[in-house]
Structure formats: structure tokens, C-alpha cells
Amino acid sequence: MPTEWTFTLSLNRQITPDEADRIDTTDDFPLFVDGSATYTTGGSGSSELHCDVEAETLLEAVAMVSQQIRQIRGLRAVRLQHEEIVTLEIAAQRTGGRRSRQSLVQLSKGQRGPGNFPQPEEKVGGTTFYSWPKVAAYLRDLGDDIDEVPRDQIIADLALRLADEVEVAGYAMREPVLRSLGLCSA
């Protein structure tokens, strides 16, 4: 069953007004049309893609968005941001199935566990945000095997960074080379 993955990707540059118009008005970008992925424009630095994408794994979700944005010549996702402020739903995703959102809610309300769950960092509207490093440390203290930065995030980020390095260097990597490096299956 697919999971909805929430993440932010950094692009290699700003999305231009013409590109934004293309994203918003063509059927080539279904994740953007249905609101699963949105983008920032203007300001300093590169554009970002804010994503809530359904897929079996985080890497598949990242790949789907990355593939769609690459349809615009010269535009690509170059890294997955490791956001430290999360909702309990996102924190549950980061536990890799060890904790459900409901389990974290009960811990946060003192209904389970020893108490002293990390205090919220902020509340916006009806949404409460927590520090992922504090939540991860709390869960590790309970005996859960939780990474500071989840392994699937590290893999997705490294894959985007590698693809960007290959592109910037101008390498044309044929499929046999990718296969030999373990970057695609036989």
C-alpha cells in the first residue's frame, strides 16, 4: 500500500515564469497539477519543490518528482533537504515503521511511555511541529533503533547529488556503466 511521503527538494536553479506557466498549464506534470508537488519561485537561491507524494518508498517518491521536473530542459532536483522540524506524522515516517503516528501522539500526550516527550517547537494553526533530532533521541532512549537522519533520506539525497555531479561534469553514462556501479539493475 503506498504511503504519502512529505519532503522538500532543492533545484539547481530558479524556475522561470515561462517554466512555471508550462508546469501549471500542461498535462506533462501530473504531480504538480494534482497538488502533490508545489514549487517556489523568486527570491535568492534556487527554487524548491515541496512534495506530498504517494509511493511505496521515499526513493520512489523522490524519483517520480525528479523525473517530472527534468522534463524542463536544464532543470533538475539536486538534493533532498533534511528538515529538522516535523509533524508527528512525518516523524512516524522517519521511524521506518517502528512507530505509528498514533503511538507518537500517545507518547506526546503522556498516555504511554515514561513521559518527558520533547515539547513542540511551534504550532501553526492546528498543526504542531516538533524537533526531529529531539524526537529521535527520545525514541532511542526508549530503546528504538532510530537514525538521526533516516537512511532512506540519505540514499535519496546522495542519489540526487550523484546525478547532479554527473550532469555538471558532462559525463554520458551508458547503461552498462550504470549497471556495473550498481545504479540500475540488469
pLDDT for the residue 145: 93
Q: What pLDDT does residue 186 have?
A: 60
CA 14 to chain centre: 19
Strand partners, 54: 4
Check residue 181 and give its pLDDT.
73
What whole-number distance in Å separates Cα of residue 154 and Cα of residue 172?
25
How high is the pLDDT of residue 154?
A: 93
pLDDT for res 18:
94
CB 46 within 8 A of CB 18: no
Q: What is the pLDDT of residue 174?
A: 75
Map the chain to HEC letters.
CCEEEEEEEEECCCCCHHHHHHHHHCCCCHHHHCCCEEECCCCCCCCEEEEEEEECCHHHHHHHHHHHHCCCCCCCEEEECCCCEECHHHHHHHCCCCCCHHHHHHHHCCCCCCCCCCCCCEEECCEEEEEHHHHHHHHHHCCCCCCCCCHHHHHHHHHHHHHHHHHHHCCCCCHHHHHHCCCCCC
**CB–CB of 89/96 below 8 Å?**
no
Q: For the chain (length 186 residues), average pLDDT per consecutive 10?
A: 89 95 92 93 91 93 94 94 93 92 96 95 95 96 92 92 87 75 67
Q: What span, in angstroms and rounded, lies between the C-alpha atoms of 86 and 91?
A: 6
Q: What is the pTM of this model?
A: 0.82
What's residue 63's pLDDT?
94
The per-residue pLDDT for 101 is: 95
Distance, CA of 135 to CA of 113 (rounded, Å): 13
